[in-house]
Chain A
Amino acid sequence: MTKADENPAMPGRRAQYEAALRRRSMWVAGVSTSLVFLAILVLVPLAPGWEAVKKSFFNWGVFSKTFPGLLDAFLLDIAIFAWCAPLIALLGLFVAICRDIQKPALYPLRLFATVYTDVFRGLPVILVIYLVGFGIPGLGLPRPWNSPYIWGSLALILVYAAYVAEVIRSGIGSIHKSQSSAALSLGLSNADTMRYVILPQALRNVLPANMNLVVALQKDVALLSFVGPVEIFRQAGVYKSLYANFTPYVGAALIFLAITIPMTRFADHLMNKRRKQEQ
């Protein structure tokens, strides 16, 4: 089979009709969106508390003074994210594979993996961060092992790896049995069948779902501020106290959105691409 025939011919009646329909719906969408925005712009400043809100949340002077500092602090968020993500991927993959192990000798691993995913998916992230982030340094470990960076990151890794493991496991389950039949029938071992045939397809199938977790992780890094690291959220809090003004939080929100919205769009794009491939 070669590529599907391209059809460069004149647009047919159907295509013309659909184009007209598209033009009209874009026009309607444009008008109604403008109306809504106009209403917000006109109505919100009429609210009685607007002046106060504007001063404490949208204060340009405070914004321009604190924004560079917030950006600086955000580098720490990115760093924490950057060292957590690969470890999460590895641990998640390991746990996912453990859950499908059949060998009786390795049953403890399977049990561990099951308990692990149940526990860490069943707890609020912030609770794990408190328990691990305060609990382990509380053992009185010597430096650098009392660092909140290490244990806070570990908490994130533990929680997110549990979610990643479940996503990967669902990916493994989505690969049709005929694929492993084909691999095994050639004399490949179970391990090679998993590694060369099942996993590559499974991981590709769940890439969009994992991208959503990546976005969530980027945001949840801010939770580490509760156990110590002066990342952007905590830095915003410092500025808030300093200037007695909430604008730094708005600045922090904008910085998060600048990163997470493109990532979310990208995840959606991957998801759509996959859906199209499946048709």
Chain B
Amino acid sequence: MLSLRNIQKSFGDHHVLRGIDLEVAKGEMVCLIGASGSGKSTLLRAVNLLDPVDDGEIWFDGVDIAEPGLDPQPIRQRIGLVFQSFNLFPHMSAAENVMLAPRRVKGLSRAAQRGRVEELFDRFGLGHRIDHYPDQLSGGQQQRVAIIRALAMQPDILLFDEITSALDPELVAEVLDVLRSLRAEGMTMILATHEMGFARELADKVCFLESGRILEEGTPAQIFDAPREERTRQFLSQVL
């Protein structure tokens, strides 16, 4: 479904992604782990076409979306991205946040969407919060709204950038439950995460990023129990 080949990206003379290769099959959940600054966010933003890559190919559904000059808008509609800092639109209610993109991009009226959106809110335990504004919601609730917002575009693949890192510990579980439920549904997902327990429990594949390269990848068991690389072992001993 998604295939990255030799992705290169620099900010100025800071070479951040140094040749990333990655395969993600339909329905798979891939976790990116690695130290701060290793390039996880940059990689996810590149796949969502928010920051164009300098070189390399991103094959998505038979098209190389890293092609310079390609219109990113239709691609982004099919690749959702959820941010660490939620980034809800503060001047809109939760429901309006969710309905904006389908309304403007797909031409679905509020009335046409409302039923489906209510279902999504109910499903993630937010039915009673649907008309609240972001500043009336807890971090965990805001992040769940952000996930619903991305889901409402019915993307083929969802990217999550450390979506629990900004949350108080007691709110992390409610967001992870949402991911679990998406996983059960067969959603294709790439997560940058520091939640090692979660990655071990649910990932099909874990990739360890180090200085803009995937140093090691494998099943959770391979990476967490029998890492081949010394650097992976060091990193894991620091975070586990």
Contacts and interface: CB of A to CB of B under 8 A. Distances in A.
Contacts of B87: 178-179, 181-182
A34 interface: no
A191 to B, nearest CB: 10
B48 interface: yes
Interface residues of B, number: 29
Contacts of A183: 89, 100-101
Given A179-B89, A192-B104, A196-B104, A186 B138 contact: no
Interface string B39-79: 00000010010100000000000000000000011101110
Interface of A: 1-2, 178-179, 181-189, 192, 196-197, 200-201, 204
B89 A186 contact: no
Interface of B: 45, 48, 50, 72-74, 76-78, 80-81, 83, 85, 87-91, 100-101, 104-105, 136-138, 146, 149-150, 153
Contacts of B77: 186-187
B24 to A, nearest CB: 18
B73 A197 contact: no
Contact of B104 (A181, A182, A184, A188): A188
A186 B82 CA distance: 10
Contacts of A189: 73, 104-105
Given A1-B137, A182-B83, A196-B100, A187 B105 contact: yes
B79 to A, nearest CB: 8
Contact of B136 (A1, A178, A196, A201): A1
Nearest to B98: A186
A185 B153 CA distance: 11
A201 B91 contact: yes
